[in-house]
């Protein structure tokens, strides 16, 4: 009996943009010194996840598992087995210069899809649609609501409103329409600080300390007004702001555990 796999991107099925989470932007690097997992299962085996493992106990692959999460301990062991090439791929300088380009492409398409959905949603009034669209760029009603709580850039102290953007803590692309217009889902930031925050190069903990991503280029941070050696404390946040900032730390802030020391 023959079976036919359905193409998710054909004209009949459409792009399934309502399931945008299916898309994962990746970059492949061919290794000069490949590793055979079957020869190292004494190291890798104990670190395999109990569910949806990408390898069989003997080291063979599983064709039924094409995308899965692996524990950090497994990733670290695999990096150590591959050696220098793998460690080079996770160096801060490599990630900082190469990864954002891939991330940005995916995010822009995601936001364009969400923007089209807002424009075509007849259940929402024209006034709200316009406000939500303007909120994407930190303007309009959203900015006015943020200004009721924030009075200057949290990073630089700039207080001239023409130089400030209302930056979403829970990104516009991830938020509901209500959250997109919620003043407590925003901080006033200068364009440089807004870029760093939106792309996950900086974040904030609940005490107001600025968090520096290990993949951020240190020289660029200094030039953009953030000293990575002495990150500032920007003051307190409301309980609801802390909730939104928690989402940012978990889903936007760029982390890298296995970095080669330089």
Sign of the alpha-carbon torsion through 59, 61, 65, 71: positive
Q: Dihedral (C-alpha) 202, 226, 141, 162: value to the nearest 10 degrees?
A: -160
Q: How many residues does the chain have?
A: 262
Per the structure block, which two tokens stand in for 222? 């200094």
Instruction: Report how far residue 172's alpha carbon sits from residue 190's, in angstroms, rounded to the nearest whole number.
Output: 18
Note the pLDDT tens digit of each residue in 9-27.
444 444 444 555 556 667 7
Looking at every residue in the chain, the average pLDDT score rounds to 80
Note the pLDDT tens digit of each residue in 74-112.
888 888 777 766 766 665 444 444 444 444 546 677 777
Note the pLDDT tens digit of each residue in 178-194.
999 999 999 999 999 99
């Amino acid at each position: 009996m023959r079976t036919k796999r359905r193409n998710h991107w054909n004209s009949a099925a459409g792009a399934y943009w309502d399931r945008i989470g299916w898309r994962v932007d990746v970059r492949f690097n061919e290794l000069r010194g490949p590793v055979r997992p079957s020869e190292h299962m004494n190291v890798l085996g104990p670190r395999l996840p109990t569910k949806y493992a990408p390898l069989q106990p003997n080291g063979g692959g599983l064709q039924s598992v094409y995308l899965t999460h692996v524990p950090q301990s497994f990733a670290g062991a695999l990096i150590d087995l591959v050696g220098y090439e793998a460690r080079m791929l996770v160096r801060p300088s490599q990630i900082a210069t190469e990864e954002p380009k891939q991330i940005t492409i995916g995010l822009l398409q995601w936001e364009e899809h969400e923007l089209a959905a807002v424009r075509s949603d007849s259940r929402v009034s024209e006034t709200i649609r316009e406000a939500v669209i303007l909120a994407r760029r930190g303007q309009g009603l959203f900015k006015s609501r943020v200004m009721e709580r924030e009075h200057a850039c949290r990073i630089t102290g700039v207080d001239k409103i023409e130089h400030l953007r209302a930056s979403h803590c829970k990104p516009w692309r991830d938020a509901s329409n209500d959250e997109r217009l919620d003043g407590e889902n925003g901080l006033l930031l200068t364009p440089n600080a807004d870029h760093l925050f939106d792309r996950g190069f900086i974040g904030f903990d609940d005490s107001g300390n600025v968090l520096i991503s290990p993949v951020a280029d240190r020289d660029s941070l200094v030039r953009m007004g953030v000293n990575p050696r002495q990150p500032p404390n920007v003051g307190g946040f409301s309980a609801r702001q802390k909730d939104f900032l928690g989402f940012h730390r978990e889903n936007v802030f760029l982390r890298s555990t296995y970095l080669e020391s330089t």
